[in-house]
């Protein structure tokens, strides 16, 4: 299943009030939005029609978060859905995730693109292939290791996979506090050694299975308290993907 099909379903079934996209490019994925949306990209060039209340900012995500207040563009609302498809380097994706989570709500969802490279060439930090994922695949292990409270769900989508992250904590400082240590361990020179479970997508849920499961309905549920919501999400993840994907808050 193509990644935009899953992203379209997330927009339709989660019904976000606010959407953030880091890495707009030609606007293909941004065109799926139907809510207040913010697109950040230093060199976007829209070739797809957009039909939403959209603010486009022509800058890098690092520069944006250093000098702008995202709340000014979301009209004070947290971001319900974020799609990160920016610079394909682990350090950049980590910074983007930290900034996205900081502006999210506890029931928001972040989706990271290009998380399942199909070979070492696609996973290289220096681009020399048509489809380029870079070394952002390392962020899956980082999130699972440093943030076991999160739901971190790899999705088998074409061409280079995605990871859905839920159970966010906008107050968490774990990742920024450990930023230097994370990069010292996980940023490695080319050629990249990509684990077999990434290359073979053993550790990934097919996009169609996600859409047929109850997980999106659970994520979209705004009733009840936070603990009841998380319990429902964890049960849906368990049914969709298995126990290894459910965050452990202990």
Delineate the domains of the chain, giving CATH numbers in brackets: 3-207 (3.40.50.150)
What average pLDDT does the segment 217-229 reach? 93
- Which pLDDT value is given to residue 130? 85
- Which pLDDT value is given to residue 242? 77
What average pLDDT does the segment 72-82 reach? 97
d(CA 49, CA 31): 6
pLDDT tens-digit map of 103-123: 999 999 999 999 999 999 999
d(CA 110, CA 237): 15
d(CA 154, CA 118): 14
What average pLDDT does the segment 233-237 reach? 95
Q: Which one of 98-107, 125-134, 215-224 scores highest in mean pLDDT?
A: 98-107
For the cut 90, the answer to whether the pLDDT of residue 247 exceeds it is no
For the cut 80, the answer to whether the pLDDT of residue 128 exceeds it is yes
Higher pLDDT, 36 or 243: 36
Bridge partner residues of 109 (DSSP): 81
Q: Is 25 left (phi over 0), alpha (psi -120 to 50) or beta?
A: left
What average pLDDT does the segment 223-231 reach? 92
- Which pLDDT value is given to residue 203? 84
What's the pTM? 0.95
**Cis before 207 (ω within 30):** no
- Rounded to the nearest integer, the mean pLDDT of the chain is 95
For the cut 60, the answer to whether the pLDDT of residue 249 exceeds it is no
- Which pLDDT value is given to residue 125? 97
Across the chain, how many H-helices and E-strands are there?
A: 11, 8
């Amino acid at each position: 299943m193509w990644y935009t099909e899953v992203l379209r379903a997330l927009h339709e079934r989660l019904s976000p009030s606010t959407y953030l996209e880091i890495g707009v490019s030609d606007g293909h994925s941004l065109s799926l939005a139907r809510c207040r949306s913010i697109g950040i990209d230093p060199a976007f060039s829209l070739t797809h029609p957009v039909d939403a209340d959209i603010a486009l900012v022509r800058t890098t995500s690092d520069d944006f978060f250093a000098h702008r207040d995202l709340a000014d563009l979301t009209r004070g609302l947290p971001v319900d859905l974020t799609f990160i498809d920016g610079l394909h380097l682990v350090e950049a994706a980590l910074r983007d995730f930290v900034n996205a989570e900081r502006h999210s709500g506890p029931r928001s969802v972040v989706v990271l693109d290009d998380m399942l490279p199909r070979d070492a060439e696609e996973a290289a930090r220096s681009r020399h292939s048509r489809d380029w994922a870079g070394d952002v695949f390392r962020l899956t292990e980082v999130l699972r290791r440093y943030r076991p409270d999160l739901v971190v769900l790899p999705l088998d989508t074409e061409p280079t996979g995605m990871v859905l992250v839920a159970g966010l904590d906008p107050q968490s400082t774990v990742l920024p506090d450990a930023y230097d240590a994370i990069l010292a361990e996980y940023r490695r020179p080319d050629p990249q050694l990509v684990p077999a479970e990434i290359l073979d997508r053993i550790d990934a849920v097919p996009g169609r299975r996600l859409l047929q499961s109850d997980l999106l309905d659970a994520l979209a549920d705004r009733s009840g308290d936070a603990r009841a919501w998380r319990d429902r999400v964890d049960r849906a993840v368990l049914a969709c993907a298995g126990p290894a994907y459910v965050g452990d808050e202990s």
